[in-house]
Amino acid sequence: MDNYVDTLKKVLTDPEGFYSEMPKEGGYQEPLTFAAINFAILGLLSGIVAVLLKGAGAGSIVSTLVGAVIGGIVGLFIVGIILFIFFKIFGGSGGYEGTVRILSYSSAVQVFAWIPAIGLIISLYSIWLNIVGGKHVHNLTTVKSAIAVLLPLVIMIVIVIALMAVFVASIAAIGLGSLGGF
């Protein structure tokens, strides 16, 4: 557990130093174990908050815990593919494993993401951690790494806004169509 706490502190307080020393290869076990602990803490504490503040049943603690760990680990691999592609587009030289390692260690912020009202703000720090990680793992400038990390987020936001616009337009068209029948 000391190694976990030391790693957590180093990632959160000295990401430049951490990612510059982090092995780019060596297997997934160590980074995924670190991430799983982070997601377990998030799930456990989020479940407790749901019980205390929202009146959820005690079973929600277990389901939130399991969902956070499984969803978090699966998410690392999916987001890893996306970021790996964008790092490569911008000239990155690192591998997919290194990208998953970046995401695994940037999950350190999840330890605090359960805190109501500030969890989202704290989670935004993971974007910075991913930028710093991309810089070191993929040998990119900070600007190129930032673009590689932020561009998929911007694309996702644009897609969501477009889908919402289509949904609202469809609802409006249905509503106007039904008014025409009166």
Q: Within the chain, how many helices (H) and strands (E) appear?
A: 7, 0
Which domain covers residue 36, as residue numbers? 2-180
- Asked if residue 117 has pLDDT above 90, the reply is no
Structure tokens at 142: 């900070």
* Residue 101 · residue 24 · CB < 8 Å: yes
**80 SS3 class:** helix
Residues 6+ positions from 95 with CB-CB distance below 8 Å: 24, 25, 84
Q: How many CB atoms lie within 10 A of CB 130?
A: 26
What average pLDDT score do residues 69-84 get? 98
**Amino acid of residue 119:** G
Q: Residue for token digits 């479940």?
A: 47
**94 SS3 class:** coil
pLDDT at 180: 57
* Residue 129 · residue 109 · CB < 8 Å: yes
Total domains in the chain come to: 1
* Residue 30 · residue 102 · CB < 8 Å: no
pTM of the predicted protein model: 0.90
What average pLDDT score do residues 73-85 get? 98
Question: What is the spatial distance between Cα 59 and Cα 9, in angstroms, rounded to a whole number?
Answer: 31
* Residue 44 · residue 111 · CB < 8 Å: no
For 143-175, the pLDDT digits (tens) are 999 999 999 999 999 999 999 999 999 998 887
